[in-house]
Amino acid sequence: MDIEHFHGGPAWCFRFMRRRHLSIRARTTVAQRLPTDYQERERVAIFRDKITAPSHITNMDEIPLTFDIPLTHTVEKKGTGMVAICTTGQEKSLFTVVLGCHGNGQKLPPILIFKRKTLPKEAFPAGVVVKANQKGWMDKEK
């Protein structure tokens, strides 16, 4: 195009971006390229050969949850000095859900751990393990 000494200002850049349907976006992921000598398929095959019983491999995760999540935004008239949102009063009460599965695909029963000394008296669905712990998470004792 033989363009020399071109200087475009910010307004020109924004108009150019609009014409070309471009926008400034936030990064969503950071990725790295694998080395050229990396052989993923061979490593996976070697790993699978060494595993004799996939049912002995277990994946689990603990997820803390609250009983009440109050809203942070609501609709109110302009100029209102105070905006009240009603809650149950349990927004700081926590419990932990533990989910797990074996390597062969068998799902483990969910575990609910309440942050209290005694178990709640409510009825829970069959197949759910319910425990109580003062700190609200799993430990080696229970």
Is position 76 within any domain?
Answer: yes
Is position 49 within any domain?
Answer: no
Is position 68 within any domain?
Answer: yes
Sign (positive/negative) of CA torsion 72, 76, 78, 80?
negative
Q: For the chain, how many structural domains are there in total?
A: 1
Q: CB–CB of 62/135 below 8 Å?
A: no
Is position 140 within any domain?
Answer: no
Is position 2 within any domain?
Answer: no
- Determine the Cα angle at 64 with ends 58 and 67, to 5°: 135
Is position 124 within any domain?
Answer: yes
- pLDDT tens, per residue, the chain with 142 residues: 688 888 888 898 889 888 988 877 766 665 666 666 666 667 777 777 776 666 668 888 988 888 877 777 776 766 777 777 777 777 777 788 999 998 888 899 999 988 888 888 888 889 999 888 887 777 766 5
Is position 58 within any domain?
Answer: yes
